[in-house]
Amino acid sequence: MKRTCYIGELNEADLGRSVTLQGWVNRRRDLGGLIFLELRDRSGVVQVEVEPDSPAFAAADPLRAEYVVEVEGRFQARPEGQRKGGLADYEVIASRVEVLNAAKTPPFELDKGDAVAEDIRLKYRYLDLRRGEMQRGLLLRSKAVAAVTAFLDAAGFVQVETPMLTKSTPEGARDFLVPSRLNPGEFYALPQSPQLFKQLLMIAGFDRYYQLARCFRDEDLRADRQPDFTQLDMEMSFVTQEDVLEVQEQLLAHVFREVLGVALPLPFPRLSYRDAMDRYGSDKPDLRFDSAFVDVTDLFRGGEFAAFAGAETVKVLAAPELTRKQIDELERVARQHGARGLAWLRRDGEGFTGGISKFVGAQTAALLERTGVEPGGTLLFAAGEWKKAVTALGAVRLALRDLFALAAAGPQFHVSWVLDFPQLEFDEDSGSWTYMHHPFTAPHPDDVGLFGTERQGEMRAQAYDLVLNGFEIGGGSIRIHDPAVQARMFQAIGFSEAEAQAKFGFFLDALAYGTPPHGGIAWGFDRLVMVMAGAASIREVIAFPKNNRGADLMAEAPSPVEPAQLAEAGVGVLPQD
């Protein structure tokens, strides 16, 4: 017997008809001799009523939560007084119930899944995934995959699978290793990203490439990381940065339209890295709300307030009225992010009280005017070395967002580009210059001349990040295709030719055989879907995630293996300290 449709597809047109539905008993109640079932499939829940004289009654009687059933019956509207809108306005009067499978009592009530310890949810993931919230997240993810595929295919992108068993490289994060039985003593590495392979595909002439790529990094797992994750990886030949950004905007707009019915305004606003940091203290600013910093360095320079007088930067952020406790909490945030404290002022009429008010006299009028702080409102200051100061105040800005739901008043989704990242960073630890993203990122054409000069720290890269609601959901760059520029880049980061060859060997060889200008981007697909679904963690949009010890609690992986398996793989377990 085939079902008429998914439960969620039932509608007015089905009223009075006999329907056949299949799914799980979400709940069973007995009332006045009748059995009421909530029948659930992936699309929705509908009430099924089994009357005592129904031929279905005998089959329905033993039903319990999570039994699998097929129900046939008349689809009808519920009595007027009981309507609440949606599927709850309808019910099915069962004429036939067939038990397709029984079920043990679940270890937790699915309806209360949110409140269940995550370890239990992960151990019984197949039950956790029955919850509507989890199903919606994964269905949304699937729709996003289909939308991405359709768009990129139509736009001439070629889907290519890159190797999963590849070479370990000393660069970047730690590799997961895979012993090779056929080549004893040798190891594959699982790919951290298809970066080199996608560039090789451009060298091979594929022109436009994409892949939903599984990537692996053996890092210590922070709260919201997974040892393996999914990247939407793309690369294009014969393009400028502008070409890449344009295609990306069309693609993301397509995905939001197809999956959520949301029209993203195009083009996305653009900020330079410098401006993003300077105004919001983040290279992935949440721009659903503004609350930009105001620069007041000049007001205090050389003045009597010693803490600000000599600071490279003094920034101020206008906040609503804050309690002393809230200010203390924000100060803790500032300290966690590198500030030595959090100076503050409360506006009182046309002046300020509290905090550093005794040091602020001459600056009062200018502070009022530049910040527009409201009466009773608070000004929060960060001062010191520019990057440290803005970073700390950026963290305070996000804490204020969470405290006052500042983002709620803005658009549901805000997408922007952050551009003009630095080409080079000075690494304090090693006392040398290094690349910010990877050593194949092309510098801005106007800045190439700065290589090797004292101003090479000012060089801008042709690199770009895609930012959604304060999350970096994509990052990429135009790559170097000119061997002369590549040589200057290696020089700038202190790689000799021999070192470069040792680290990037075959890839540098490939670059010499006719490399087109090219660039690309990769999206953090798990994170994008998380934000689109309004989920709190990427684990909510991954079917079978690992916990923060890298363990799959359901499948019980990792696990010890048979000595014979290890012997075949040619490895042994080292004794633990």
Place of tokens 């949009």: 541
Minimal CA–CA distance to 459: which of 433, 432, 423?
423
Residue 453: both structure tokens together: 């000069």
Query: Do the annotations mark residue 446 as ligand-binding?
Result: no
CB nearer its own copies, residue 17 or residue 181: 181
Separation between Cα atoms, residue 302 and residue 312, nearest integer Å: 11
Query: Do the annotations mark residue 235 as ligand-binding?
Result: no
Q: Which residues pair with 134 in a beta bridge?
A: none
Query: Do the annotations mark residue 171 as ligand-binding?
Result: yes
Minimal CA–CA distance to 282: which of 531, 414, 472?
472
β-pairing verdict for 158-159 and 90-101: unpaired
Query: Do the annotations mark residue 249 as ligand-binding?
Result: no
Please report how close the Cβ of residue 317 comes to its own copies at its closest, in angstroms: 39
Query: Do the annotations mark residue 472 as ligand-binding?
Result: yes
Query: Do the annotations mark residue 491 as ligand-binding?
Result: no
Please report how close the Cβ of residue 22 comes to its own copies at its closest, in angstroms: 5
Query: Do the annotations mark residue 250 as ligand-binding?
Result: no
CB nearer its own copies, residue 157 or residue 344: 157
Inter-CA distances, 391 with 316, 401, 431, Å:
12, 15, 22
Radius of gyration of the chain (CA): 29
Please report how close the Cβ of residue 568 comes to its own copies at its closest, in angstroms: 7
CB nearer its own copies, residue 109 or residue 161: 161
CB nearer its own copies, residue 467 or residue 522: 522
Query: Do the annotations mark residue 438 as ligand-binding?
Result: no
Minimal CA–CA distance to 174: which of 506, 439, 477, 550?
550
Residue 422: both structure tokens together: 């630095």
Please report how close the Cβ of residue 242 comes to its own copies at its closest, in angstroms: 10
Minimal CA–CA distance to 319: which of 335, 337, 343?
343
Please report how close the Cβ of residue 233 comes to its own copies at its closest, in angstroms: 13
Residue 505: both structure tokens together: 């060997």
CB nearer its own copies, residue 53 or residue 242: 242
228 exposure class (CB count in 10 Å sphere: 0-12, 13-18, 19+): middle
Query: Do the annotations mark residue 181 as ligand-binding?
Result: no
CB-based contact 450:231 (threshold 8 Å): no
CB nearer its own copies, residue 353 or residue 565: 565
CB nearer its own copies, residue 16 or residue 560: 560
Please report how close the Cβ of residue 197 comes to its own copies at its closest, in angstroms: 6
Q: Residues 255-258: contacts with CB within 8 Å, 24+ apart?
A: 255/144, 255/147, 255/148, 255/151, 256/413, 256/532, 258/143, 258/146, 258/147, 258/150
Please report how close the Cβ of residue 189 comes to its own copies at its closest, in angstroms: 7
Place of tokens 């930067």: 313
Please report how close the Cβ of residue 118 comes to its own copies at its closest, in angstroms: 17
Query: Do the annotations mark residue 414 as ligand-binding?
Result: no
- Dump the DSSP string for 516-546: PPEEEEEEEHHHHHHHHHT-SSGGGGSSS--
CA dihedral of 59, 62, 64, 70, whole degrees rounded to 10: -10
Please report how close the Cβ of residue 147 comes to its own copies at its closest, in angstroms: 9
CB nearer its own copies, residue 126 or residue 426: 126
Inter-CA distances, 7 with 23, 45, 98, 347, 399, Å:
9, 7, 17, 57, 42
Separation between Cα atoms, residue 398 and residue 406, nearest integer Å: 9
CB nearer its own copies, residue 288 or residue 488: 488
Please report how close the Cβ of residue 260 comes to its own copies at its closest, in angstroms: 16
CB nearer its own copies, residue 24 or residue 305: 24
| Cβ neighbour number for residue 414 with a 10 Å cutoff | 20
Separation between Cα atoms, residue 36 and residue 97, nearest integer Å: 12
Annotated binding site: 171, 217-219, 226, 437, 472, 479, 524-527
Q: Binding site for L-aspartate: which residues?
A: 171, 217, 437, 479
Q: Which residues are annotated as a binding site for ATP?
A: 217-219, 226, 472, 524-527
